[in-house]
A and B are shown apart, each in its own frame.
Chain A
C-alpha cells in the first residue's frame, strides 16, 4: 500500500506544496486502501490534484469521465502547462486521424479525459480496457443524478461501463451533493459501499444576496448599477447566449468596465482570447453561459451575478463557487424578475418527453433529422428498457425538476438566513455564524461595508498601442 509519505513527497516535487488542502489526503488514503470513493469537496478545493497525484504515484492510467469538452480541454492544457505531456482528451471534435492516433497510443498516456458518450463506443471501451486503467474518475459526478434521463443518457450507463472495464478503482468527485444526490450517484454507479469524503460546502467569504424585480428594465438598470459599483473581476451568468451578447454590449457602453461575452458559440480563437484577457486582468467582467468557468482557475473573482435563474441549487452553488477562491470577501447576487421561473419551467418541459411522445417514439425508429427526444427514447429501447419503465422514469424526472425549481424559488423568497437554508438543503450542520452572511441578516447589500465598492473607476479601454510597439513587444525587440 502507498504510504502518506509517498503522497507528501510527490506533492512537494510535483506541485511544490508542503501540505494538502482539507479532504485531499483523506481521499488519497481512501483510494490507496482500495476503497471506491465519493469525494464532496467545495469548488476550488483542488479535486484535480487528487487524481493527478494518484496517477503520478501509481504510474497507472487515470481515466477521467467528464461532462464538457471545454472542461476536458482546459484540464489537458493545465496538465501540459505544469509539464505533464502524457495527457489527452478524446472528444467528438477531433478529426478521425487524431482520434485514431490517441486510441492506438493509449499506453503512452497517464491521463485520459473522455465523455461518457465517447467511452461507450465499443472501440474506445476495448482500447481503454486493454491498458487497464488504475483509476476511473467520474468528475462532476452530480451530473449523473441532476441531469437525469432526459439529457445525455450515457451517464446512466457509467455503472455498466465500469463493470465492462473490469471494475477499476473509482473516484467520484463533486462540489455539491445533497444526501439524495449522493445516494443516487452511488446507486447509478453500482457502488453502494463507496467511502465518502465530505468537506463542508459552505463558502463563508461569499456574501449571499438576492434581489427581486417586477420589471425587466429595472433588472437591467440594476445590473448596470452593480457592475459600475462593484470591485472587479466578476462573472455574470445567463441562460441564453443571445442575452449574454446583448448585455455585454450594454455594459461596455454604460459602464467603464471592459466586458466580453463567453459561450459555446464563439470560435476557438475568440474563446482563447477572452479567457486569457480575463486571466491577465485585461477584462473586468465576463458575461457567460454555464459553459464558462468549469475549468477556469482564477482566484480573485469578486462577484458572481446570476441574471437568469440557474437550473437548481446544485448548479447555483457550483457557479457562485468561482468567486473568492483567494479567501477574500466576495459576493453572489441573484437577480430575480417575477416570472423568471416560467423560463426555467419552459426549458425543462421542452426537454422531458410526455407519455404520448414516449409511446410514439418507442414504436418509430428515429430518422436522420428526428427530434432529440426520438433518439433519446430509442436509446433506452436499445438498452432494454420497457415502455412503461421509460414513462415512469420521465414522470419522476418531471417531478424532480419541478421540485428542484421550487427549492430554488424557496431560496429566492425565504425571508430568513439564505446560508442556513443552503446548509440545510445540502444536509450539513449549520456552521458558526458568518460575519458577512446574507441579505436577510444585514440591511440589504452594503458594498461599502463588504469592502467591495470600487475605489477608483477602472481605466476605460486599453491604451491604443501602435503596431510598431506591438510587434516589437511580441518578439522582444523593445
Chain B
C-alpha cells in the first residue's frame, strides 16, 4: 500500500552531471552498458564493458533508473553540445571534455565505492544508525524514546548486539571509533556524516537538508552518503574488534553472484566444465559465463586463468594482437586459431586487468 524505499537503494538519482562522469572524450561508450551497470544487470557483456569503462563499482547503484530518465539526460547533453551520439554509442565533445574536467574538480569524487560490492551496505547503515541512537540514549540514561524505524531483522540484530555489549562502555567506544574515523576525513565530509546521525535530542538531518546546506544536487549528496558509508566500512574492517565493528557481522558478500561463485568453487576443486554443468543442471555455456563473470569481478590472482588459457594459447593471442589497442581487437581476426569466443574474451579480461594494473 505504501511504497517505502530505503536510503541506500534510494529513488533514481541520476542527473546529467553524473552521466558526464561515466563518459569518455576519446572512446565512444555504449549507453546501454552504462544503464545496465547502474540497474545491476550481470550479463557478461555488460560486466565486460563495465570493466573497460571503469564503472564496475557502480553495479546496481541506481536500480530505479529508467530508460526515460537516461534518454532525457542524453538528449539534454547532446542539445547543450556536450555529447555526440552515434547509434547508442556516446562520446564527449571537446566542450563535454572540458565540462568533465571542471566536474572532476568541483563535484564529489568517491574514494571507496568498490566496497559497496563486498558488503550489504543498506543493512549496515540501518544497523549503525539504530545502534548509534541506542548508545546515545543510553549515555543519557533515557529509557523512553522514539526508536528509528528499521527492518525487523535489523531490530532483532541490534537487540542481541545490545545484550552482548551492554556492559562494555559503549558510549566511550562509539565516541572513540567515530572520532578516529571522522578525523581522517575532510571537514566538510566529517560534518556531513555526523549530521546524519540520530541520538539523544538529535533527530538527525535528512539527506535533502544536507544537500541544501552544502549546495549539492541530490545525486551528489546521495553519492557522498554512499561513499562515506563505504569509507566507514573500509575503516572498520581495518580496526581491531569493537562493538562498532560487530555491526558488520554477517554482512560481507562476494562481488560475484552466488551461482557464479558456486561454479568457480567447483572448477577450482578440479571439476570439468561439462561435469559442473551436468551436476548443476546448467548449460555448459552458462558455466562458461559464470567463469567469465568471476574473472571480471575478482582480482587476477583469485582466478585460475592458466587452467583455461594454456601458455601456448596466451602467446599466440599476444602475438596476434601485439600492435593493437585492446578495444579494437576482433574475434574474427582469429580465424586461423583454435580458440573459442569465451576464451578470447577471457584473454581480453586478463589483458585488461594487466594493463590497468600498470597504470
B5 contacts chain A at the CB level, 8 A cutoff: yes
Contacts of B204 in A (CB 8 A): 269, 273, 276
Contacts of B96 in A (CB 8 A): none
**With A467-B190, A470-B194: A69-B1 Cβ-Cβ less than 8 Å:** yes
**With A272-B198, A466-B191: A475-B203 Cβ-Cβ less than 8 Å:** no
Measured between alpha carbons, how far is A260 from B205 in the docked complex, in Å?
11
Measured between alpha carbons, how far is A464 from B212 in the docked complex, in Å?
13
**With A77-B146, A475-B136: A265-B202 Cβ-Cβ less than 8 Å:** no
Contacts of A474 in B (CB 8 A): 132, 136, 139, 174-175, 197, 199-200, 202
Inter-subunit contact A267/B200 (CB<8 Å): no
Give B209 Cβ to nearest chain A Cβ, in Å: 7
B317 contacts chain A at the CB level, 8 A cutoff: no
Of B74-82, B148-156, B259-267, B283-291, the segment with at least 4 beta carbons within 8 Å of chain A is B148-156
Q: Which size bracket describes the interface of A in this complex?
A: 35 or more
Give A465 Cβ to nearest chain B Cβ, in Å: 8
Measured between alpha carbons, how far is A474 from B179 in the docked complex, in Å?
12
Inter-subunit contact A276/B199 (CB<8 Å): no
Contacts of B208 in A (CB 8 A): 260, 270
Contacts of B187 in A (CB 8 A): 466-467
**With A82-B144, A282-B203: A273-B198 Cβ-Cβ less than 8 Å:** yes
Inter-subunit contact A92/B1 (CB<8 Å): yes
A1 contacts chain B at the CB level, 8 A cutoff: no
Measured between alpha carbons, how far is A320 from B153 in the docked complex, in Å?
37
For B, the interface residue count at a CB cutoff of 8 angstroms equals: 54
Contacts of B145 in A (CB 8 A): 81
- Chain A, range 61-94, C-beta contacts under 8 Å to B: 68-70, 73, 77, 80-83, 92-94
Contacts of A82 in B (CB 8 A): 144
B193 contacts chain A at the CB level, 8 A cutoff: yes
Inter-subunit contact A269/B203 (CB<8 Å): no
**With A81-B145, A473-B202, A474-B199: A467-B7 Cβ-Cβ less than 8 Å:** no
When C-beta atoms are compared, the residue in chain B nearest to A252 turns out to be B212
Inter-subunit contact B206/A260 (CB<8 Å): yes
B182 contacts chain A at the CB level, 8 A cutoff: yes
Measured between alpha carbons, how far is A185 from B312 in the docked complex, in Å?
84
- Chain B, range 191-234, C-beta contacts under 8 Å to A: 191, 193-195, 197-209, 212-213
When C-beta atoms are compared, the residue in chain A nearest to B203 turns out to be A276
Inter-subunit contact B2/A70 (CB<8 Å): yes
Contacts of A104 in B (CB 8 A): none
Contacts of B171 in A (CB 8 A): 475-477
Measured between alpha carbons, how far is A94 from B193 in the docked complex, in Å?
29
Measured between alpha carbons, how far is A147 from B282 in the docked complex, in Å?
52
The 8 A CB mask of A257-293 against B (1 = contact, 0 = none) is 0001000110111111111110110100000000100
B297 contacts chain A at the CB level, 8 A cutoff: no
When C-beta atoms are compared, the residue in chain B nearest to A69 turns out to be B2
When C-beta atoms are compared, the residue in chain B nearest to A99 turns out to be B152
Partner of A470, one of B129, B202, B213: B202
A472 contacts chain B at the CB level, 8 A cutoff: yes
Partner of B207, one of A270, A272, A276, A470: A270
Inter-subunit contact B194/A471 (CB<8 Å): yes
Give B85 Cβ to nearest chain A Cβ, in Å: 30
Measured between alpha carbons, how far is A275 from B152 in the docked complex, in Å?
20
Give B178 Cβ to nearest chain A Cβ, in Å: 5
Inter-subunit contact A276/B146 (CB<8 Å): yes
A98 contacts chain B at the CB level, 8 A cutoff: yes
Contacts of A77 in B (CB 8 A): 146-147, 149
Partner of A271, one of B3, B140, B149, B175: B149
Contacts of B172 in A (CB 8 A): 475
Inter-subunit contact B197/A272 (CB<8 Å): no
Give B232 Cβ to nearest chain A Cβ, in Å: 13
Q: Which of B132, B152, B200 has the most CB of A within 10 A?
A: B152
B135 contacts chain A at the CB level, 8 A cutoff: yes
User: Can you list 24 residue pairs at the A/B interface with Cβ under 8 Å?
Assistant: A68-B2, A69-B2, A70-B2, A83-B144, A268-B149, A269-B6, A271-B149, A273-B205, A274-B206, A276-B146, A279-B203, A467-B191, A470-B191, A471-B178, A472-B175, A473-B200, A473-B202, A474-B132, A474-B136, A475-B139, A475-B171, A476-B136, A477-B171, A477-B175
Q: Which residues of A contact B (CB under 8 A)?
A: 68-70, 73, 77, 80-83, 92-95, 97-98, 115, 252, 260, 264-265, 267-277, 279-280, 282, 291, 461, 464, 466-468, 470-477
Q: Which residues of B contact A (CB under 8 A)?
A: 1-7, 10-11, 126, 129, 132, 135-136, 139-140, 144-153, 171-172, 174-175, 178-179, 182, 187, 190-191, 193-195, 197-209, 212-213
Q: Given A273-B206, A474-B197, A474-B199, 10 more contacts at CB 8 Å? A: A82-B144, A83-B144, A264-B2, A265-B11, A269-B6, A269-B129, A276-B203, A474-B136, A475-B171, A477-B171
A-B CB proximity, top 7 nearest: A276-B203, A467-B194, A476-B139, A98-B152, A475-B171, A474-B199, A470-B194
